[in-house]
Chains A and B, each alone.
Chain A
Amino acid sequence: MAKISKSPWLLHYDGSSCNGCDIEVLACLTPVYDVERFGIINTGDPKHADILLITGGINTQNKQVVEQIYSQMPNPKVVVAVGICACNGGVFKDCYNILGGADKVIPVDVYVPGCAARPESIIDGVVKALDILEKKREV
């Protein structure tokens, strides 16, 4: 079953990010950084996705959206929290509408630091996620 981790499909959801990490995620998909060389394809449909890239902290309104997207993804699945806001709330931690990092609502497997996360570290995080996906598949 190693085939799946060789062409994982990736879903990106913007929590309450400032956009910075989102455009870096998109930049990863474009020719300069090109994560497609790992066989990764960006998809818009949670039911096709193996990896969920989540940027930004969780707020009261997108909590259900994130939970729903996660529950719609088929098993095995891996969650990558991109950027410091998705890790623990970051600079917006003290805002009244921020609950915290993505791990407040869904289990997170890989944490990518940075504000904004650099494309290199996002790719590194995704590659780490591939290993975890492989391990989960074996279980």
Chain B
Amino acid sequence: MGKRSVVPFGPQHPVLPEPIHLDLVLEDEKVIEAIPSIGYIHRGLEKLIEKRDFNDYLYVIERICGICSYMHGMGYCEALERIFDVEIPDRAKYLRTIWCEMSRVHSHLLWLGLLADAFGFEALFYQCWRMREKVLDMFEASTGGRVIFSVNKIGGVLKDMDKDMLASFVKEFDAMEDEIKKLCDVFLTDYTVESRLRKVGILTKEDAVATGAVGPMMRASGIEIDTRKTGYAAYSNIDFKIITSNDCDSYARCEVRIKELFQSFDIIRQAVAQIPDGDLSIAVKGNPNGEAFMRVEQPRGEAIYYVKANGTKNLDRARVRTPTFTNLTPLVKILQGCDYADVPILILTIDPCVSCTER
């Protein structure tokens, strides 16, 4: 048995844009145990609900995270719409679906870029981010923002996309699909990439259930669950097949995310083809009273929104359980027994979003 030592990892680390700290117990070069400590980004924004009314709080909840900002706003709105018991117009549902999938595309491209950067493939990183800028341009054209969009409201959406815009987006995504196909060849067949990802960080199907993995992390371990199938927004009218892999390693997580990119393009095409004309929102009057849970599939996995209202304009509680928070336990699991040099890659394969985790 080798000598045991504890090596701190983070909070400021070249691979991670965000601070997270891990205490790694090493035996020679093998990690025996990893203990995450979080809190570098903890703001306590759930507490802010006492100072803001439920409409204003939407703008706070969007700022939980700059990557999934659209879905945070949408999840909160859908939870309140459930309390108010209103059904939003069909056009708003489809617009939400399109923006959701655009968020997924930009988030997965961002992740692919960071992964490429983590194993030292800088050109690939630049390619992914160049592509991602195109999605951001589309976001800017349709919502006015690159990161924070603020296009949701309780009862619908605030902005519309006209026919020409939707058609141009579809054209843009078609072109992007061809480009991404070329990039995927590198991610999925390149020998150096494969050597970093294959058989690294194995999370078995049983462990994935036991540790509460969500999103691509769970689907890469062979579990066929996607919260979009619960049919929020317009997903109940969209035909898509859940993408899974039975390899359970880092490569599988990469593969699942890449295939989800193509799936997102397909969903956007379906949504654009089906989108009906109509109103963007319906009026919601009064203050909410009651409680509701709402589940949403974010790029990183399932997020849960819980809202408890008391009939006044200030809510009692607005809670978000973000995907990375529950993916911490699987991360600890896959870090056990890995090589020290693989730690940064393994942290990346859960697609960590630390500001979501700590709120």
Q: Direct A–B touching in the complex (beta carbon < 8 Å)? A: yes
Quick check: B66 and A27 within 8 Å, CB to CB? Answer: no
Quick check: A16 and B133 within 8 Å, CB to CB? Answer: no
What class of interface size applies to chain B in its complex with A? 35 or more
The answer to the question of B36 belonging to the interface, with a C-beta cut-off of 8 Å to chain A, is no
Quick check: B47 and A96 within 8 Å, CB to CB? Answer: yes
Quick check: A31 and B47 within 8 Å, CB to CB? Answer: no
The answer to the question of A97 belonging to the interface, with a C-beta cut-off of 8 Å to chain B, is yes
Quick check: B44 and A95 within 8 Å, CB to CB? Answer: yes
B12, B39, B113: which contacts A44 (Cβ < 8 A)? B12
Quick check: A62 and B11 within 8 Å, CB to CB? Answer: yes
User: From residue 53 to 102 of chain B, which have CB atoms closer than 8 A to chain A?
Assistant: 59-60, 63-67, 69
Least CB separation from A20: chain B residue: B66
| Interface stretch of the complex, out of B13-21, B152-160, B194-202, B335-343 | B13-21
- Contacts of B214 on A, CB cut-off 8 Å? none
Alpha-carbon distance between A13 and B16 when the two chains are bound, in angstroms: 10
- Contacts of A22 on B, CB cut-off 8 Å? 17-18, 66
Give how many A residues have a beta carbon under 8 Å from the other chain's beta carbons: 39
Assuming the contacts A14-B19, A22-B66, A31-B129, asked whether A118 and B146 have C-beta atoms less than 8 A apart, the reply is yes
Alpha-carbon distance between A40 and B145 when the two chains are bound, in angstroms: 26
Task: Write the nearest CB–CB distance from A94 to chain B, whole angstroms.
Answer: 5
The answer to the question of A77 belonging to the interface, with a C-beta cut-off of 8 Å to chain B, is no
The answer to the question of B259 belonging to the interface, with a C-beta cut-off of 8 Å to chain A, is no
- Contacts of B48 on A, CB cut-off 8 Å? 92, 94-95
A23, A57, A69, A92: which contacts B147 (Cβ < 8 A)? A23
User: From residue 1 to 33 of chain A, which have CB atoms closer than 8 A to chain B?
Assistant: 12-24, 26-27, 30-32
Least CB separation from A68: chain B residue: B12
The answer to the question of B41 belonging to the interface, with a C-beta cut-off of 8 Å to chain A, is yes
Alpha-carbon distance between A14 and B65 when the two chains are bound, in angstroms: 13
The answer to the question of B183 belonging to the interface, with a C-beta cut-off of 8 Å to chain A, is no
Quick check: A94 and B51 within 8 Å, CB to CB? Answer: yes
Task: Write the nearest CB–CB distance from B309 to chain A, whole angstroms.
Answer: 20
The answer to the question of A106 belonging to the interface, with a C-beta cut-off of 8 Å to chain B, is no
Most buried by B among A14, A18, A32: A18
Most buried by B among A21, A27, A57, A91: A91
- Contacts of B39 on A, CB cut-off 8 Å? 59, 61
The answer to the question of A125 belonging to the interface, with a C-beta cut-off of 8 Å to chain B, is no
The answer to the question of B250 belonging to the interface, with a C-beta cut-off of 8 Å to chain A, is no
Q: Mark B31-44, 1 if CB is under 8 A from A, else 0.
A: 00000000111111
Q: Mark B104-126, 1 if CB is under 8 A from A, else 0.
A: 00000010010000000000011
Quick check: B63 and A115 within 8 Å, CB to CB? Answer: yes
Alpha-carbon distance between A30 and B17 when the two chains are bound, in angstroms: 14
Quick check: A61 and B44 within 8 Å, CB to CB? Answer: no
The answer to the question of B181 belonging to the interface, with a C-beta cut-off of 8 Å to chain A, is no
The answer to the question of B171 belonging to the interface, with a C-beta cut-off of 8 Å to chain A, is no
The answer to the question of A105 belonging to the interface, with a C-beta cut-off of 8 Å to chain B, is no
Quick check: B129 and A26 within 8 Å, CB to CB? Answer: yes
The answer to the question of B284 belonging to the interface, with a C-beta cut-off of 8 Å to chain A, is no
> Which residues from chain B sit less than 8 Å from chain A, CB to CB?
11-14, 17-19, 39-45, 47-48, 51, 59-60, 63-67, 69, 110, 113, 125-126, 129-130, 133, 136, 146-148, 353-356
Q: List 13 contacting pairs A-B, 8 Å CB cutoff, sorted by A.
A: A14-B41, A18-B65, A24-B66, A24-B146, A44-B14, A62-B19, A62-B40, A65-B19, A96-B47, A97-B42, A97-B43, A98-B43, A116-B146
